[in-house]
Amino acid sequence: MTTLEIPGVARRSEFIWEMHPRGAMTVPVVLFATESLMRSMDAKVFEQAANVASLPGIVDACYVMPDAHWGYGFPIGGVAAFDAKRGGVVSAGGVGFDISCGVRALRTGLDAEKVAASAEKLVEELFRTIPAGVGSEGRLRLDDAQMEAMLVGGARWAVERGHGRPEDLEFIEERGCMAGARPGEVSLQAKKRQRPEMGTLGSGNHYLEVQRVAYVLDEDAAAAYGIVKGQALVSIHCGSRGLGHQIGTDFLMRMAAESARRGPRPPDRELACAPIDSDLGQSYLGAMRAAVNCALANRQMLTHLARMAFAAVLPEADLSLIYDVSHNTCKVETHGVGKHSRPLHVHRKGATRAFGPGHPDLPEAYRAVGQPVLIGGTMGTASYVLAGTKQSEALAWSSACHGAGRAMSRHEAARRWSGRRVAADLAARGILIRSASLRGVAEEAPGAYKDVTAVVEAADRAGLARAVARLEPILCVKG
């Protein structure tokens, strides 16, 4: 094994690196990256991953995806599994503030050239129809009973109210509804924040993008997913809005206070945690699952709005769901540990589930090829569809990266670029942008992110997921 100029990090293979246990670490850190991505990774990632590897009950390793960058507590792109029977913990920082932020992709049934010919009308209709930006409000206000039903029912609740099609549910993680949600554990403030926000896109890196399938890289998987070169797809990236953020804030404070009184005391306050089997741990998991359902319901409502906008401009379009998968979650999953299988609480922060072929939780239509893995890029480069692999189970608890990953802070991006100039440059390349905030466009400038192709190559070559199709933007609606 060769070494990199990072103390304690050794190369296991071309795309896999390892930081051996030291100090309080009880397991190693395993990183998936090209050498170039490793060299550009901010030092805080290694520090945060080492802290995660010190948490009680962690199993095998802390895994770091190719798009990793500094986050709150866990690095974004961090994956770690904990065993409740061996003192394992749940950490709000290991899920993140935007609980169940995720991506869903839809076919349009139309050639990309036809969509591009109507791009001006379509982007305006989408921007008019879909509330986006900080403080954006939806058309639906939930009363107490509706809020409770939404937090329990997720996308199923939305479909039952007419926001979508029953067949959508088959192609959503957890079939559109995560069991074990406990709305009573969600604070009144979190519910208050969410009341006006159902069916809204939000701000930051959230978007709705219409894309052309530029290349098909795996014909079998693409055929199973209904992805055809030259056709147009729609990707929606958003999460649980104010409710998820408030749950994260509420429980980080409660976990920090409880850790100070009774332990466990994490190496970093941002990693405040609670034993999985404790009252606090179970309260958090119940609230988090409610937030997952909120995010699934929100993306379902946005899908309904996108269908309405397409119908107004391109009535021949048929937006059918390819898949919806979240990337800020803690899931109870059964994984092989040594010679046995046992349930683990898998934290994925800025990382997506990537079940391989044959997994029983996958839709029958995809079971032979593996789960669609949706990798969001930037509004000026590309996104990718990948497929989960069998070897990913042993590599990183069936996990893969979730996007390009930031290369610099939003503040630095806004200092370097003008939002107006970014939008003009993209328009000159035939990519139309509509946003509620020009500063937001600057913060999300393509140059503020890592090379998504390099990230996908690392995931593919390491075996986390295999590349299926490259998607390039036609238009993008941002908050």
Per the DSSP assignment, residues forming a β-bridge with 32 are 16
Catalytic residue among 206, 345, 402, 411: 402
What's the farthest any 2 CA atoms get from each other in the chain?
62
**Helix %, strand %, coil % of the chain (to 5):** 40, 25, 35
Q: Is 402 a catalytic residue?
A: yes
φ, ψ (nearest 5 deg) of residue 463: 100, 5
- E strand segments, 47-141: 62-69, 76-82, 89-91, 102-111
State the Cα–Cα distance between residues 386 and 351, nearest whole angstrom.
Answer: 13
Residue 184: Cβ within 10 Å count: 11
Whether residue 84 contacts residue 57, with contact meaning beta carbons closer than 8 Å, is answered with yes
H or E element in which residue 428 lies:
helix 419-428
**CA–CA distance, 28 with 50 (Å, rounded to integer):** 8
State the burial class of residue 215 (Cβ atoms within 10 Å of its Cβ: 0-12, 13-18, 19+). middle
Q: Which residues does residue 332 pair with via DSSP β-bridges, in sequence order?
A: 345
Encode 245-266: b = buried (16+ Cβ within 10 Å), e = exposed: bbbbebbbebbbebbeeeebeb
166 preceded by cis ω (within 30°)?
Answer: no
User: Annotated active-site positions, please?
Assistant: 402
